[in-house]
Amino acid sequence: MKDEPPRNSYVYILECADKTLYTGCAINIEKRIREHNKSRAGARYTRGRRPVKLVYVELCSSHSKALRREAEIRKLSRVQKLLLINGKLGQLDVESP
């Protein structure tokens, strides 16, 4: 079996119909958003909060890097996630309580 080159992966934030935020990662972002909105393959969290809309996406060079970045983003507060979505996270110290 020959080595495959690393595949790009995406970290994303969805805004659910109830205005909550959901963070995930995927190799095929378009397919994953469709799953969140229309199929049982979507996350349990988003199934009861449809429709969802994509509000933020980051490209990562590998799926393992995307998983690490997803974990970082999940640790952020809602306010910090909104600042990230709006491109203003650098204006807030991420380490602050």
CATH number of the domain bearing residue 29: 3.40.1440.10
Decide if 20 is inside a domain.
Answer: yes
pLDDT digits (tens, 9 = 90+) for 54-85: 999 999 999 999 999 999 999 999 999 999 99
Integer Cα distance of 45 and 17 in angstroms: 12
Q: What is the pLDDT of residue 97?
A: 42
Q: Which domain holds residue 78?
A: 9-91
Decide if 97 is inside a domain.
Answer: no
Decide if 44 is inside a domain.
Answer: yes
Decide if 35 is inside a domain.
Answer: yes
Decide if 77 is inside a domain.
Answer: yes
Decide if 79 is inside a domain.
Answer: yes
Q: How many domains does the chain have?
A: 1
pTM, two decimals, is: 0.84
